[in-house]
Structure 1
Amino acid sequence: MTEFEMGATKTRDPKLIKQAATIWAEATAHRDLVDASDVKINDSIPLIEEVLSSSDHSFLLAIADDDGGIVSFAAVEPEREATHQGRGELRFLGVAPEHWGEGWARRLLVALPDACREEGFNDLILWVYADNTRAIWVYEAMGWNATGRTRKHEVTGRLEAEYRIKLG
């Protein structure tokens, strides 16, 4: 494990992957107004494991609270479309819903560039639901720029917008 700014830790620890998957399942259910009883954490674990197994340069970046439990995480891998050498893709970023609005996503996004540069990434892309104004606001406030590219999510069919940031 490697420590970064804001108390962020780069890891592949299975225990932390499970905590990240729990956050992802709960956060997406909360975002999409799905009943909490319908949350299937075990469906989220393979999604994050797939990112981490895609490359030696893939990683999970997590920030824990004072009790040691993960509050926010990001899962990064080399860009799947491979249109640019040295480009990473932020596949997942999640904050536990009970901590929304407390600045945890911002803290994670502050720590993310150093972790990405360590893996040889010069810039990052991400795809975000075009109607997820809460996430888009955070990304734009942290320096991410819309590229103008859009696509339909392969599972949900919802429109996604691409954002990019140069790591400098």
Structure 2
Amino acid sequence: MSPYEVCPAETRDARAIAEIHAAAARAVYQGLVPDDQLDALVAPGTREAKWRQAIEFAEPQVLVAVQGDQVVGFVGFDRSRDPKTPPTTGEIWALYVHPDHWGKGVALQLWDAATEGLEDEGCTTVTAWVPLRNERALNFFEHQVGFKRDMKTAKTTALNSTVRIEEVRLKRTLG
């Protein structure tokens, strides 16, 4: 039995989600992004407002993993934002777990719950954009949940005014 429970996020979870997002990003990008740029990138203040709005408007749908009364991870998912994709294509917009809980099955539980939500909406495929230098995320999506790289989709994305990363779209069939 897992010590984690996955449930819909509530607006009061926005701060914890922002803090998890910042902590995970700091752990992943440490050494890949200059420290001054990393500090600006992971500042949780603006993230909290964005996640509060996402939760309020369910765009994307947000689920949290909790242990007791502590939020330890979250997933945001919905229909694909990519142009020209059919309405049966879903997307994992974000999936983050606090580094203290890495390797404990939290991401897999969040993935399973998001998959169920996407299937309930009629999605038959799902995509995720993942930074090419984020080996942890690539390993999870490719080796643990069966995504494949769509290399012709590699692109540079601006995380803010100074930080840019290379991303690739991953894709898999649901069901």
TM-score past 0.5 threshold: yes
Q: For residues 49 and 162 of structure 1, do their structure 2 counterparts lie closer, same or farther at Cα, with a shift above 3 Å needed?
A: farther
**Does the CA-based 8 Å contact 1:57-1:119 persist in structure 2?**
no
- Provide closer, same or farther for how the CA distance between residues 123 and 145 of structure 1 changes in structure 2, counting only shifts above 3 A: same
Query: Could you tell me how far apart the structure 2 residues matched to 1:131 and 1:146 are?
Result: 14
SS in 2 for 1:80: coil
Does 1:165 find its partner at 2:166? no
Q: Which runs of 5+ in 2 are unaligned?
A: none
What SS class does the counterpart of residue 158 from structure 2 fall into?
Answer: coil
The C-alpha deviation readout for 1:2-60, integer Å capped at 9, x for no partner, is xxxx732123x11122211110011101211258x94421121244346556x756310
In structure 2, the residue corresponding to 1:153 is in which secondary structure?
strand
Gaps of 5+ in 1: 1-5
CA distance in 2, matches of 1:147, 1:45: 31
Q: Which amino acid aligns with 1:40?
A: A
After TM superposition, the score normalised by the length of structure 2 is 0.79
Superposed displacement of residue 157, structure 1: 2.0
1:19 aligns with 2:20: no
1:103 Cα deviation (Å)? Answer: 2.0
Displacement of 1:74 after TM fit?
0.5
Change (3 A) 1:158 1:109: same
Aligned equivalent of 1:139, options 138, 141, 150: 141
4+ runs deviating over 6 angstroms: none
1:22-101 to 2 correspondence within 5 Å? Answer: 22-33=19-30, 34=35, 38=39, 39-49=42-52, 51-52=54-55, 58-65=60-67, 67-82=68-83, 83-101=85-103
